[in-house]
Structures are given as C-alpha cells and as structure tokens.
Amino acid sequence: MAERSGDGEFHGHAEIVRQTHDLQFVEARYAPRARLARHTHELPYFFFVLSGSLTEYAHGRARPCAPGTVIFNPPGINHRDEIGGRGARCFIVQLGRDWCAGRLGASRDPEWVTLSGELVSGLALQLRREAQSWDVTSALVVEGILLVLTAEALRTDRGRGLRMPPPWVARAAEHLDANFTSPPTIRELAVGAGVHPAYFARSFRSAFGCTPGAYARLRRLNWARQQVRGCRALVDVALSAGFADQAHFSREFKRGFGITPSEYRRSLS
C-alpha cells in the first residue's frame, strides 16, 4: 500500500526555498543508495535532478534519472525511488490547485513523463535561480517557464514518453560529475560502459541534448558558480575548477551565464 504524502511533503532532507500562494519551491537531498517507499502526492510537481542520480519506478516501468533530467509527476501517481551511489540533490516545483486551474483550463495534466535535453534542463535551472533571488518580475518569468515545461510534458505524453537511455548513460554522467575538473575521454567512458565510442556519444547526446564535453563544461561552471557565492578569492575558484587562470574562468563564466564572476558576486550582495 502506498504512503500518501501531503501538500509540500517530500522524502529525504527537504527545505522550502520559496512559497507563493500557488507554488512551492523545494530543495531536497537524498542519501546514497536510499530507498524511498512507494508513495503518492496530492499535487502535481516537476522534479529536477541537480546532481547524483536516482531511478523512479511507476506503472511497472523504471526510469533512470541523471543530472539534467526533469520528471513530471501528476497527482496521485503511485511510485517509489532508489537513489544512486553518490546520493542525489534535486529541485522541486509543486503546482498548487489554483495554478493548475488557472493555466491549464480544460486541458488535463500530463501523465508521468521524463524530460531531458538542454531546453528543459536550462529552464529548470532558471526556475531555481528565480526561486533563490525573487524580485517583482519573477512571478511572470516563472509562469512562462512552467507553461513551457508543461507543454513539453504534454507533447512527450502524447508520444508515449521518451525512449529511456540505458543505465550506463546515467553512470557515465555520475562519473563526469565526480571528475569535471579533468574529465575522461569519450573512449574511456565508452570502455567503462562496455560499448563502442560512437554508440556511447550518440546515446549520451540523445539523453542530455549535448556532448559529454559540453556536459562536463556546464557541470564545472555550475560548481564554480556555487563557489563564487561564497568568500573565496576568484583566482582560487578558477584554479580549483580546473581553469588555466582567472581570465580563462571569467571568459567561460560569461559565455555560460552572460555575466562575469565578479558581476555575479556583486549581484548577490
């Protein structure tokens, strides 16, 4: 029998980042190899994997989820989760009844679907940034992003869901997460997965919408951005993240996020 979770209740170590009258933004951390008992939620939500990995089970199917994956869970779905060996850190946006009624109208909720690729992962990261630094325009920005994600979920649902990548794709992403300062080559990753490099590269791009190199670059930039939020000297952050020097770090940071590390740090204060 599935455990029923109330509004805003999520397993693991969950912390509410922001609450509006019809949306809730939650950061959740899960211990390595944790097993979450079968349960349901009363409200629909988007579940974005930031780091680590997990596998979600529902409707007799298993869906491995690596960083960048977005899951849409409709209300009442009976599911369970198994966390990967490095644990998992996730960002969750729960949609309130008023939000769904006012935006979806006569349209039904999407079914249980898994989304991946640069578009959806980029949108999910932007949602997280808005939740963390809310201003007068954030509600409008968030509404637009959630409508795009909902449309993607509906489109995927009509197509009977995405073809799920093999489990070794998620393991390769975990390996890149752990070694983003000096990432392995595609050939090394393919040997570890036991597949041909060309097949590995094609499968990885299909799952994440980018090459392994682009994935490792984004992972390194995201880690460096978290370090910039602290008090460390920017040159120390640059070298720790594997950049040649602070100038190289600033160029790559601006190319990825549109501002320099120093501008980003000033915006936080």
Q: What pLDDT does residue 170 have?
A: 81
What is the sign of the dihedral through the CA atoms of 136, 137, 138 and 139?
positive
Q: How many residues in total does the chain contain?
A: 269
Exposed, middle or buried by CB within 10 Å (0-12, 13-18, 19+), for 14? middle
Q: What pLDDT does residue 18 have?
A: 93
Residues 80, 156: Cα–Cα separation, whole Å: 21
The residues facing 83 across adjacent strands are 54
Q: What pLDDT does residue 104 have?
A: 59
Average pLDDT per run of 10 along the chain, which is 269 residues long? 50 87 92 89 90 85 84 87 89 87 60 80 87 88 88 70 67 86 88 86 76 83 86 90 89 83 83
Of 151, 84, 77, 141, the C-alpha closest to 112 is: 77
Q: Is 67:219 a contact under the CB 8 Å cutoff?
A: yes
**Enclosing H/E stretch for 180:** none
Side-chain half-sphere exposure of 234, counting CA atoms within 13 A: 17
Q: What pLDDT does residue 165 have?
A: 66
Q: What pLDDT does residue 158 have?
A: 61
Domains of the chain: 3-158 (2.60.120.10), 167-268 (1.10.10.60)
Q: What pLDDT does residue 159 have?
A: 52
Tens of pLDDT along 9-63? Answer: 577 788 899 999 889 999 999 998 899 888 888 888 999 998 888 888 887 788 8
The residues facing 93 across adjacent strands are 25, 46
pTM for the complete prediction?
Answer: 0.59
